[in-house]
Amino acid sequence: MVKQRKVSCPLCGGQLLYCVKADSNLARKINKDGNLSKVIHPGARHITDTYYLECDTYRCGFLYNLSYPETNKTDYTELDNWYEEFGEDFI
């Protein structure tokens, strides 16, 4: 049986995105004439342990921290339950 659990943004009902914070450096080489080259992405991204849900609706701004729920202003048990059941690592 395929597991199902519908979750949506508790503020606007919109679609939620499952996200992880990642650190990534951007760099630009400086050419001999002093001008900057195009942006390059050196090295691999460092994926952090902070997973969160973000509303995909423009200007809604809903964010819910799954990894550190104590930082949320409001608890949403249905979102915590979803994460427990469906949360996965990105890599």
**Binding stretches for Zn ion (CB under 5 A):** 9, 11-12, 14, 55, 57, 60, 62
| 52 neighbors 38 (Cβ within 8 angstroms) | no
Distance of CA 26 to the CA centre of its chain: 19
Q: CA 10, 16, 21: angle at the middle one, nearest 5?
A: 115
| 20 neighbors 55 (Cβ within 8 angstroms) | no
Least CB distance to Zn ion at residue 5 (A): 18
Q: With respect to Zn ion, which residue has the nearer C-beta, 18 or 62?
A: 62
Least CB distance to Zn ion at residue 28 (A): 35
Least CB distance to Zn ion at residue 23 (A): 26
Q: With respect to Zn ion, which residue has the nearer C-beta, 12 or 47?
A: 12
Q: With respect to Zn ion, which residue has the nearer C-beta, 14 or 19?
A: 14
Strands 63-65, 36-40: pairing is unpaired
